[in-house]
């Protein structure tokens, strides 16, 4: 059975969705809509995280079993 998509002429405000869309627009504009540049950036962020370098230098490699002890 095919899905029927309906659209509403009135959009209910959703601050979380608005924030996600604004962040997406900002990120895309930062890389001039160049997907290759964006992917290169994300791969570097991933490598920095895996190596705990750059902005992730102070993150622990393992989280304790009980991060919030009683």
Q: What is the pLDDT of residue 60?
A: 81
Q: Give the 3-state DSSP-derived string for the chain, with helices as H, strands as E and coil as C.
A: CCCCCCCCCCCCCCHHHHHHHHHHHHHHHHCCCCHHHHHHHHHHHHHHHHHCCHHHCCCCCCCCCCCCCC
- Structural domain spans, the chain: 15-56
Model confidence at 1: pLDDT above 60 = no
pLDDT tens readout for residues 13-69: 899 999 999 999 999 999 999 999 999 999 999 999 889 888 888 888 887 777 677
Q: What is the pLDDT of residue 4?
A: 56
């Amino acid at each position: 059975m095919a899905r029927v998509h309906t659209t509403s002429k009135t959009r209910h405000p959703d601050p979380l969705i608005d924030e996600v869309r604004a962040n997406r627009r900002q990120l895309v504009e930062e890389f001039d809509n160049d997907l290759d540049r964006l992917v290169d950036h994300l791969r570097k962020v991933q490598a920095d995280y895996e190596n705990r370098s750059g902005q992730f230098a102070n993150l622990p490699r393992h989280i304790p079993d009980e991060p919030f002890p009683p």
